A and B are shown apart, each in its own frame.
Chain A
């Protein structure tokens, strides 16, 4: 029995779970509106996965291509998403992104410049015009550092290396969160009027991924367990270019910017194979197309020595490459002994991003649970069936701000909810169980097996048979996870922490697999070898997932009709000169 004295309690108007771009932007907005805000994050402040984003921020600022406008950005986003996007989110995103970029600059962010002294923008896959505001190949670092500095200057409370394991409820409302400190293992109760989930993606469920240690989908799992709806879970993006060799760096991102700056893909015959798969856009086709192309080339025996494709930018001047892509240069030099100014890199698909997530309302980020909001990768809708590069960093700012604002507005009229001791006790007991077991399996072994199942059975190309087998395997893994054992104490014990992360990963892996099994068509990032065509029927609906009793239940969401003016924009055609 956990006595009240055995955990600390903190009360806030708005609790933000996750300190990446979306979480920090939400925190800043809520603070600016006058709310008392706490940010809880699993890693140290400033080290969230946002830090890895390399390409840039998509915004129709028309600094380089004067013909650019929000309508074209909207159209590009909808086309990239194979028209399954939440069109209202796509509209808001395209309209508001330029302001969010200017705001970031006013807070101290320093982008690369044009000859006129404006923010420089570069080309990227699926974008008609040069739209990506960037600084070298470290735009994510620039963004998170700027937001971190701003938040600190405004005075938010940060609970670093503190992991939430459950959302607490007061009836149908969310009331707060149960968490543990990584350092000591002691427990914390957060009591809040509104909660914003901004915990990022789920890549760690796959073996080959670009995602960081912390990307285990905690926030989505928390929301699901609390009764909120998920959406579009079948749409998982495999970025075409991750490193493939040596084994330790398999999956690490090779930014699309390499292709944006002129990099060319070739197979082992020296052919520029994208001419076959997308003759118009070649290397700057959308990620789903390029991933499938590389996968096919390798499958048909034209791959590189370690099972990938060759990406070559050595035809550009060496100091241009070192200036525009410094971290790529270092990454390959130090970790793979390859000098990208002299020869090609070996690259292959890597699990990178999930378009699906918590189902939210477009304007506010409000989930299906009152008081629970979501933004960033953890939220679904903006990107539809496939995300364009550069649209994530802009997503974080646009919808991070809106979620923070809406959370504050909700908190203004909501009473402070009650924290239920029985829920706290249940959380604590479940948390300590793996440590109390004297025998049982290691969480590392279960995680490794999970990664194998998802990598082999729920990858780029899916079949009915593979997906059904995956569900059986996931079921077995869940049984194993129920008896998992953590050795050692509560003090900074990564094995014990993995027991929690494993639960999130298993839940979301099941969600992805079920949704993939149900959608019998190929669209965007979701490819079914047994249903290789796009189906108009399926194009009219998204798939939701919700917990009913103890069962993960799928339901269909009919798409709302797009207003005439947006339809008009979609039918227009603009091209870059």
Chain B
């Protein structure tokens, strides 16, 4: 069998300057893009900067944009890509480039600090049914790859990092709000500092999530509905006033 060679067109550069460089890489059975990047490091460009760790799609380190599509490099098969033209491998666009394929994702860790942590209700019994934890378990599959943050146009195109927390953090907030034993109310936070109002249900986040978390339908929309209940529904406001409930 003749050996196949692919051309990877990889971004080399930093925040200020850079260019795409072509590398020829032999293709082996079942190869993923990250394998190709490793081959380039070992044989052609030892200082090619790339972040990776587990190579099994569990740590969320190797996020990049391959042929324009945000993905994890360790689970993007070479044989799923057209090999008769260069395969572009670029860093995530929404974050400042450190070098080559490595971006500065520290903003995400700062946003995280704004979210009220898990606060169990006082005196609560530590028993939960599987049916009650199923939907929160979906959210906790998140591996913090930040691909959803990267693809969301509010961050990617409009750079609203000060006003908008992004899909990953709505998933985290939803996981806390829907935890059967949590007692905190994060609705004011969602409406204010986290800026959930900026989301207009485009669903690009859901499309790129490697864990297949239904971000928009299962996390963001229910949170928006809670906000509406709490702040915008005249009927519930009246009921609340009469019965003095929260």
Contact = CB atoms under 8 A, between A and B. Distances in A.
A and B together in one complex: yes
Contacts of B99: 491-492
A141 B58 CA distance: 8
B120 A138 contact: no
Residue in B14, B50, B109 with the greatest tally of chain A CB atoms within 10 Å = B109
A110 to B, nearest CB: 5
B98 interface: yes
A564 to B, nearest CB: 36
A216 B8 CA distance: 29
B61 A496 contact: no
B53 A495 contact: no
A116 interface: yes
Contacts of A34: none
Contacts of A150: 117
A249 B32 CA distance: 9
Interface string B23-53: 0000011111011000001110011111111
Contacts of B140: 110, 135, 141-142, 145
Contacts of A334: 57, 75, 77
B130 A112 contact: yes
A336 interface: yes
A44 B58 contact: no
B128 A43 contact: no
Interface string A26-61: 000000000000000001111101011000000000
A51 B141 CA distance: 11
B46 A108 contact: no
A494 interface: yes
B75 A149 contact: no
Interface residues of B, number: 57
A398 interface: no
A245 interface: yes
Interface string A459-495: 0000000000000000000000000001111011111
A213 interface: yes
A214 interface: yes
Contact of A106 (B29, B41, B126): B126
Residue in A46, A102, A118, A245 with the greatest tally of chain B CB atoms within 10 Å = A46
Contact of B30 (A45, A142, A249, A443): A249
Given A141-B143, A152-B112, A52 B58 contact: yes
B207 interface: no
B196 interface: no
Taking residues whose C-beta sits less than 8 angstroms from the other chain, chain A's interface range is 35 or more
A330 B57 contact: yes
A118 to B, nearest CB: 7
A183 interface: yes
Contacts of B100: 492
A253 B56 CA distance: 9
Contacts of A488: 46-47
A277 interface: no
A47 B126 contact: no
Contacts of A112: 130, 133
B41 A495 contact: yes
A135 B47 contact: no
A560 to B, nearest CB: 38
A429 interface: no
B245 to A, nearest CB: 26
Residue in A47, A105, A116, A136 with the greatest tally of chain B CB atoms within 10 Å = A47
Given A102-B126, A330-B57, A113 B133 contact: yes
Interface in A154-180: 160
A492 B136 contact: no
B58 A107 contact: no
Interface in A416-471: 442-445, 448
A246 B41 contact: no
Nearest to B133: A110
Residue in B28, B46, B100 with the greatest tally of chain A CB atoms within 10 Å = B46
A110 B137 contact: yes
Interface in A487-541: 487-489, 491-496
Interface of B: 14, 28-32, 34-35, 41-43, 46-61, 75, 77, 98-100, 102, 104-106, 109, 112-113, 117-118, 120, 126-130, 133, 136-137, 140-141, 143-144, 176, 179, 182
13 contacts: A45-B109, A47-B60, A153-B117, A212-B53, A212-B55, A213-B54, A247-B28, A248-B30, A331-B57, A335-B56, A444-B43, A493-B47, A495-B47
Q: Which 9 A-B pairs have the closest CB atoms?
A: A246-B30, A488-B47, A495-B46, A108-B118, A117-B127, A153-B117, A492-B49, A444-B42, A492-B99
